[in-house]
């Protein structure tokens, strides 16, 4: 009798182990397949373009989980540093706040307050990688996060395994505005610069500026700022006539093996 029970128990354990192994293999296969699709998807380069504001995704304000969020009238001048996260399969194929269908393999993102759709450059401050995304959804609704990236965007930014990372988000022209349809290549009375580094020591900033001038064949400026009793020396080039000119120099910077620049209006 005990022998029969033991055999039955061993059979049950074996069946469970096989089922668990099969489930693990299936999950791993799906994840590996999704990762491969994200890496090979032809959506890595997004070119900002003018689009009409969403008629469903831009209320003056909205409430989520007891918190009220106010939608900005324009994306112009928006620059912020904070934590980025990403969302994937659970939302794939579902409708976004803008009315578009969420595609986890497209280079898109969600933001709580920017008018949608709009475009932004997202730079991973931990590894220097950067991407351009179309913001067409709302979220993430966590107090310590500023942007939610699509699956492909997270893969390209090198944060898919970690889940979150510190980023800089800069809105790109043509800017979205909810108070009129006129779009600007650059903000009025301001000039477009590209910041390539920030140093606490002036001598380090000067050395880096001299290196950049040799690579780019363009004058480099150093701006001194004081934040929370700490002095920083920001290395910038510009001003640029438009975003296209800035992108050309950004490409030169990347080819030279230097950190990608951040766009700033001064």
Domains of the chain: 61-172 (2.40.40.10), 192-265 (3.30.70.1070)
Q: What pLDDT is stored for residue 56 in this prediction?
A: 81
Q: What pLDDT is stored for residue 36 in this prediction?
A: 54
Q: What pLDDT is stored for residue 24 in this prediction?
A: 37
pTM for this model (two decimals): 0.57
Q: How many CA atoms lie within 13 A of 253 on its CB side?
A: 26
pLDDT tens for each residue of the chain, 266 residues long: 434 434 444 444 444 443 444 433 333 333 554 555 545 554 457 889 999 998 888 988 888 877 888 999 999 999 999 999 999 888 888 889 988 899 999 999 999 999 999 999 999 999 999 999 999 999 998 888 999 999 999 999 999 999 999 999 999 999 999 975 333 343 444 677 888 888 888 899 899 888 888 888 888 888 888 766 778 888 888 888 877 788 788 778 778 777 767 767 67
Answer whether the bond into residue 61 is a cis peptide, omega within 30°.
Answer: no
> Rounded to an integer, what distance in angstroms lies between the CA atom of residue 187 and that of residue 79?
13
> Rounded to an integer, what distance in angstroms lies between the CA atom of residue 28 and that of residue 191?
49
> Rounded to an integer, what distance in angstroms lies between the CA atom of residue 53 and that of residue 93?
21
Q: What pLDDT is stored for residue 182 in this prediction?
A: 39
Q: Which two tokens stand for residue 5?
A: 């029970």
> Is the Cβ–Cβ distance between 149 and 130 less than 8 Å?
no
Q: What pLDDT is stored for residue 33 in this prediction?
A: 47
Would you tell me how many other CB atoms lie within 10 Å of the CB of residue 92? 15
> Is the Cβ–Cβ distance between 122 and 261 less than 8 Å?
no
> Rounded to an integer, what distance in angstroms lies between the CA atom of residue 171 and that of residue 174?
9
């Amino acid at each position: 009798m005990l022998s029969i029970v033991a055999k039955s128990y061993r059979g049950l354990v074996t069946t469970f182990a096989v089922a668990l192994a099969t489930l693990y293999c299936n999950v791993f296969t799906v994840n590996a397949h999704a990762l491969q699709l994200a890496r090979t998807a032809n959506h890595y380069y997004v070119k900002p373009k003018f689009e009409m504001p969403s008629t469903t995704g831009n209320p003056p304000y909205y409430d989520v989980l007891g918190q009220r969020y106010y939608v900005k009238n324009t994306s112009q001048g928006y620059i912020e540093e904070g934590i980025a996260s990403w969302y994937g399969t659970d939302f794939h194929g579902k409708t976004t706040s803008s009315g578009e269908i969420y595609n986890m393999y497209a280079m898109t993102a969600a933001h709580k307050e920017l008018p949608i759709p709009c475009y932004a450059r997202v730079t991973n401050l931990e590894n220097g990688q950067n991407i351009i995304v179309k913001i067409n959804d709302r979220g993430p609704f966590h107090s310590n996060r500023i942007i939610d990236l699509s699956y492909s965007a997270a893969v390209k930014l090198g944060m898919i395994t970690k889940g979150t990372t510190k980023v800089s988000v800069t809105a790109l022209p043509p800017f979205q505005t909810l108070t009129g349809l006129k779009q600007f290549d650059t903000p009025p009375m301001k000039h477009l610069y590209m910041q390539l580094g920030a140093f606490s020591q002036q001598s380090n900033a000067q050395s880096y500026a001299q290196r950049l001038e040799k690579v780019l064949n363009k004058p480099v400026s150093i701006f001194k700022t004081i934040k929370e009793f700490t002095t920083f020396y920001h290395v910038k080039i510009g001003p640029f006539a438009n975003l296209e000119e800035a992108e050309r120099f950004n490409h030169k910077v990347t080819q030279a093996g230097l950190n990608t620049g951040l766009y700033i209006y001064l």
